[in-house]
Structure formats: structure tokens, C-alpha cells
Amino acid sequence: MKKKTNQILSLLFFVAVPLLGGYLSSQFSMVGTYSQIYKPDFFPPSWVFAPVWTILYILMGIAAYLVWKKGETKKQLSLFSIQLILNLLWTPIFFGLHQYFWAFVEILILLVMIILTIKSFNEKSKTATYLMLPYLFWVIFATFLNYVVFMNN
């Protein structure tokens, strides 16, 4: 029973960290910048981002938990932590500082780190790898959106 409780608490921790970080980072996007920048018609409406990121952060947390359960995961969790920090820094750079070029550079680095994280997760858990793929695809899309904003604003 105690082991099961510890596993549940560990899972909650791994899910809570990205969610809390995402929430704190999102406070920089509340300034209305999204409505003021040039966006082509294919840009998603602003209300889409909160539910999408909530789901992605939950999937990321579950993936990290599954890897952690395998033991000897210093490399995997270090890469995960680095990419999560980069993820959380993008919003203040883009929305808070309005530095679209530097946000684009940063998201390119983030993409590399996500790929390295997924590759390292694959060494421990195929399920964790699959759980990270929607995040990778969304960030690829976000990279394209960032590029369009950078080129047009």
C-alpha cells in the first residue's frame, strides 16, 4: 500500500512540475500581445493554447515519470529538465520581451533538446517516447508560427 501511495505521489509530482511551470510562464502571455501582432488566417485562436498546453504538460509529466520509474535516469531527466526550462523561457521572450527573433532562436534550440530528450527516453520506455511525440509536433508547429511572426512583425 505504501509503495502504491509513493508511486501516485511521484506521478503527481512529475505532472505538477510542468503544469505549474507552464502556468507561471503563461502569465507573460496575458498582456494581449497575441491580438496585436500580425498573424495569417491559419493561426489558431488564442483560446486554443491553454487546453493544448495543459494536455501536453500532463503527457510530458507522465512520460518523465515512466522513465524515472526505470531507474538510473540521470541523463534522461537532465535532458527533460533542460528542455522544460527552455520551454518555459520561450513565453517571456516572445510575449514579455517581444523579441520574436530571439524567441525563434530559442525555440530552435528547444526543438533540438526535445528530440534529444525523446531519443534518450526511448532507451528506457517506448510509452514515454510516444507520449512526448504530440509535444514535439506542437513545438514544430509553434516554431513555424514563431517564424511567421518574426518575419512579419
Of the candidates 68, 73, 88, the one whose C-alpha atom is nearest the C-alpha of residue 20 is 88
* pLDDT digit string, tens, across residues 97-150: 999 999 999 999 999 999 999 999 999 999 999 999 999 999 999 999 999 999
- 116-151: string of b/e by CB count within 10 Å (b at 16+)? bbbebbeebbeebbebbeebbebbeebbebbbbbbe
Name all domains of the chain by residue range, CATH numbers in brackets: 2-152 (1.20.1260.100)
| Half-sphere exposure at residue 2, Cβ-oriented, CA atoms within 13 angstroms | 0
* pLDDT digit string, tens, across residues 4-24: 899 999 999 999 999 999 999
